[in-house]
Structure 1
Amino acid sequence: MEDTVDEDPVESDPRLLFFYTYLSKTIKFKVDKWQKMMGNEEFKNIIMSFLDDPSNNVLIIRMTSAGVLMPSLSFPSVGRSKASYFIRKYPEPITPENYQKLLIYGDIAPKPVDELAVLVEEVFLPLLSNPGNHKYWPSVVVTDVKNHVNNLRSIVYKVRGEINGQTLLPMPEGIDRVFKVEESLISSRGEDCDLQLKSAIEGAVIKWAKQVNEVIRQQSSQVFEAGGHPIPVAGVREAREIDRFLKPLKKRIEAIESTDFDEIAKLLPPMLHVLCLTWVHCKYYCSSTKVITILKEICNLLIEQANKYLDPSSIFQGDIDEMIPRLKTVITVLKDFKYALFCSLVKIREDYNSHGGSCHHSDISSNLLGDQPLDSTSAGLSEDLM
């Protein structure tokens, strides 16, 4: 049976029938969804308030994730589903006689930033950049308006990329004529230079450098500190790169986990060497903060292994002649770990310097042991172990 709207004083209102007809074509719902919304006194009052009260300029009706039609008198701050809007042209009550002349209506996509990007690119930019529209404008106003609309386009482009988990670098104004300018520059042997385009490109490069620097400084833990709830899709590429470097490290750590504590000392230097190589060569782990996090986790693993080896619940109940060697073993292993760590750091720095690079990785030692340099720390450890 074809869906129809029951004939009653409310549903027979031409204004409401217009809403129903339009929404059923755009949002595509069955008649019972509409009836449930109109049967809700609160929702019904919102719709009637928009129609009768000229101070309410906008009506938004959207389908929630639960499949419920929900009206509101303002644009939703967050929306994951398609919605429709009805806007009052003039501050007058909307009556059955004037609703067709008084309403502007349309749809809101689940991703409004994408719509905004199209609106800026296809409407605002051509409209405000067209010389035919600048006929009676002062030159200062023309320049200012063009700068503002191009800045708006760049911001929307950048934000759109961030929402999609990408770093997008906005192009400078006039980039479409760059090849023509290049030909002119070459044919004139550098005399015919488009200074306006040159200035726009230089400004864009400065913004790119700042934008890239912000991305490089980001830490994956920042989204959690800010109260965010990220999903893994945005970091798939990063995860693949990290996985390629951390797989060898995982094997070394698993070997330590499956080995008796009194035999793991020989496994520590290879594991730490792999960690340092990851630190140097993996672009996502070149930050000392991330490496220190892994080091802390490795320290926690050693503490846990030592705890199992000593069995604190029976340490003062067993034979003292048996417990003292175990305590000495734990102390020795932990000292070996500390010494192996700094030996690996020194070796990495020496390798950097031998290839003509400037090693900036000494900040790990600063974070762990204050301002002590690697060499003096390692020497002090050597003396302690002798």
Structure 2
Amino acid sequence: MSSLKFEDKRVQFIASYVLSSLKAKEDKWIKLWDNETLKNTVNEFIEKPEPRKIFFSLSQAGILLVLFPFLSNPVNHSTWPTVVSHDVMKYAHSLKRHTEVLIGHVNGKTVLPIPNENDEYFFSRTKNKSERSCLYAIETLIIEWSHQVYKLLLEDKSKASADTEALPVTEVEYWNLRASDLDGINLQISSKNVQKMIQLLETHNSCYLTPFKDMYKAIVYALMEANNMTLFLKPLRPVLEDMEGTEFEKLSVQFGRLFHLICLSWVNSEYFRIPGRLVTFLRKVSNLVIIQLRNYLDPTEVLKGELEDVHTRITMGIKMLSSFKKYFELYRKKLPEYFSKLENPQEPIHWEFSETLVFGKVDKYRKRLDSIKLLLENAMEFEKLDRVVIGGILGETLSTEVQEIFEEFGVVFKVFSQRNYDCLDPDSEEFLNDYHSISVRMDEYDQRLGSIFCRALAECPTPWHAYKLLTILSSLANRKQIKEQLEPCYTKILQDLNTEVSAVRKIVTAHEELAAKWKKASDVNTGNCSALGLHFSSFSCLFSIPPSEDTRVTDNWLP
């Protein structure tokens, strides 16, 4: 605690605070106070509203110093010519104002270069000459303000291109900052010093008075707009934060909440009810959904993990993108209901903009996911080749050829696991090149497999054996090029099947005739060997017909 005593409590406070902050001894302040110049500077700071800041420092010699204005202090150039003195004052104040503007810009604030009340260059009206000079300076300042203000008013980031990675929360933050900035400008324009300047313009009927009033009206309107947007975007922020923290599989639950609030804002806010503004906001929501999608799929592991697991995730991604668009369409149709619930119902204003403007990026990702899904499905189909075993005389040879195709495909598909590019990026040409390359190879493999399967079916002695082979092939037999080659084989199988059915029909008919004949005879021997042989022959032929429980294989037999 300082033991220094001063009659003026303000000096007492400053002395104690300075010594405590600089960790200096009391004798340092005593030496400072003995210096009349420094003492007067401190007293001037205490008694006058300007300057608002005073700085104390310890010199290398350990002497306590006061830093005070040099150029703007009239005492320092009292011996200078008046013109030089005025010029120095003019540029000193100009430098100060522009420094404040620059600092405000760094902090994201719009600071208008407004002179303080002690600035004689602006507020001196002792002579007509100086008054005209003051008027000119004020008009020059108004031009500077106009440039600053209209630059801000025309800067509507909500109309910026949505091809960027901006998220919807940035829209909320933008309007909060804009409202705060405009409120600060409004306070500056309404300050006492500015009102003095405007009175001077009115006194001289300046032509700059009307542009100033127009600028002020624009500020007030923009402030109303920003406050309104802030009000109606505020409820959206918790939903957007929930979307960021929700598991991807449950993301669709948040879509309903989001579009419900968007509809309420659209109906109740004339400033939000601007198509371009809504389009941009929805684009940013799309960016959020895509980021969640990418985090869920992990682009670096999509083509390196287990095929079934990755396929499930890709399918979920496609489902979620489709769900996002479905909710948009659902609430787009429900807009009239929201307008009808207003206190004063009005004609609905629909979302008449094109979906492409909103979902252009989503559609690109959907297309890429479809390509990856098809690639994975093909890979899973070719993995089945490892389990294909063909019997018969040529069975071993044909099975070996199938195994060779399986191994070749494994080598080709392994290329994707060795790539470092982002396969989810819809603008990635590298993935497309590899995808088209492997598609050509798969067409070649299908041609070879079709030929192998045709030869295998030709080796089947009965329709039953053909049915078992097609069951083993499963969905491989339904691949486009393989199916085209197998269609003639299906015709042959049907012909053989019809032949067997006809043979069975004849046997069954003979059995029925014989049974009727035996019924009339009174000495029928139920253990008759010929009768048992007829029964056995009938049933053995029936067993050679493919069962009807599983029709997946035979669905494509008929042309």
Superposition TM-score tier, normalisation by shorter sequence? 0.3 to 0.5
Give the structure with higher Rg (CA).
2
Question: TM-score, normalised to structure 1's length?
Answer: 0.45
Structure having the higher strand fraction is 1
Structure having the higher helix fraction is 2
